[in-house]
């Protein structure tokens, strides 16, 4: 059911999150390349061959060039949790632009609300402990994020390589793991259909045990990202 346009948000950006949720849900449902991972509590989708293996390889090389310890450029809310190396890929670079646009097109989202594509590399022992991609609006960092585009709506994350052991994405509340597989794009809605943040989206990048794990992540906001 649609809330009237004038309905007040009971949480920040609620109406916008509900609207973006509906838009993407309908778009993905109509796309035969998109597979819905059935779950009652989260809207989770996958595309099996979103990237070619050559594109995956190029992205891994680019990540090696930009990756720095994640804790150095994360805000304090993530410090200590994320031992992987990460970095934004150059949004003005034509290859990166192309990949980024393909994700926007698949989702049917305005490129303006998408953050820069972020690359991430995990070596043995490195992990991203359980977290939500959406922002806690009671925290200090929220005033900054609110001005930078508001709450996060959808996450799109692609696996770029075969990991020798470990490195699954663990949805800790839902109780299942997605094994990394190159070329696969995973997409989920960080909000509930009514636009409140979905607590069940809590997830972790499990420690890599052997080899390395490379991913790209693109997060979408509700408003123009800056």
Interface pick for ligand AKG out of 203, 218, 221, 223 (rule CB under 6 A): 203
DSSP states along the chain: -PPPTTPPPSSTTHHHHHHHHHHHHHHHHT-TTEEEE--SS--EEEETTSS-HHHHHHHHHHHHHH-EEHHHHS-TTTTTTB-SEEEE--TTSHHHHHHHHHHHHHHT--GGGBPPPEEEEE-TT--EEEE-SS--TTSTTHHHHHHTT-S--EEEEEE-S--SEE--EEETTTTEEE---TT-EEEEESB-TTSSB-GGG-EEEPPEEES-EEEEEEEB-SS---
- Binding flag, residue 208, ligand AKG (CB under 6 A): no
Q: Which of residues 120-149 bind ligand AKG (CB under 6 A)?
A: 120, 128, 133
- Binding flag, residue 215, ligand AKG (CB under 6 A): yes
- Binding flag, residue 182, ligand AKG (CB under 6 A): no
Q: Which of residues 108-137 bind Fe ion (CB under 5 A)?
A: 133
DSSP states along 37-55: E--SS--EEEETTSS-HHH
Interface pick for ligand AKG out of 21, 166, 205, 207 (rule CB under 6 A): 205
- Per-residue contact track with ligand AKG, 43 to 72, x per CB under 6 A? ------------------------------
Of residues 15 and 163, the one with the C-beta less far from Fe ion: 163
CB of 169: closest distance to ligand AKG in angstroms?
3
Of residues 203 and 223, the one with the C-beta less far from ligand AKG: 203
- Per-residue contact track with ligand AKG, 81 to 120, x per CB under 6 A? ---------------------------------------x
CB of 185: closest distance to ligand AKG in angstroms?
12
CA distance 37 to 197: 19
Binding positions for ligand AKG, rule: CB under 6 A: 120, 128, 133, 157, 169, 203, 205, 215, 217
């Amino acid at each position: 059911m649609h809330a009237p346009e004038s309905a007040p948000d009971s949480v920040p950006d609620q109406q916008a999150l509900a609207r973006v949720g509906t838009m993407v849900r309908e778009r993905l449902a109509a796309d035969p390349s998109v597979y819905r991972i059935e779950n009652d509590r989260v809207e989770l989708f996958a595309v099996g061959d979103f990237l070619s293996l050559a594109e995956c390889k190029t992205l891994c090389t680019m990540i090696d060039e930009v990756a720095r310890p994640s804790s150095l450029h994360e805000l304090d809310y993530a410090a200590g949790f994320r031992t992987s190396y990460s970095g934004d890929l150059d949004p003005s670079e034509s290859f990166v632009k192309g990949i980024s646009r393909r994700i926007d097109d698949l989702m049917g989202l305005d490129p303006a609300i998408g953050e820069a594509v972020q690359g991430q590399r995990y070596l043995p022992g490195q992990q991203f402990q359980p977290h939500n991609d959406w922002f806690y609006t009671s925290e200090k960092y929220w005033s900054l994020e609110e001005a930078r585009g508001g709450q996060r709506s959808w996450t799109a994350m692609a696996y770029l390589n075969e990991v020798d052991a470990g490195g699954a994405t663990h949805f800790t509340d839902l109780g299942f793991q997605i094994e990394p597989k190159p070329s696969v794009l995973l997409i989920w809605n960080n909000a509930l259909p009514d636009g409140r943040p979905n607590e069940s989206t809590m997830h972790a990048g499990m420690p890599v045990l052997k080899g390395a794990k490379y991913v790209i992540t693109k997060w979408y906001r509700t408003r123009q990202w800056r």
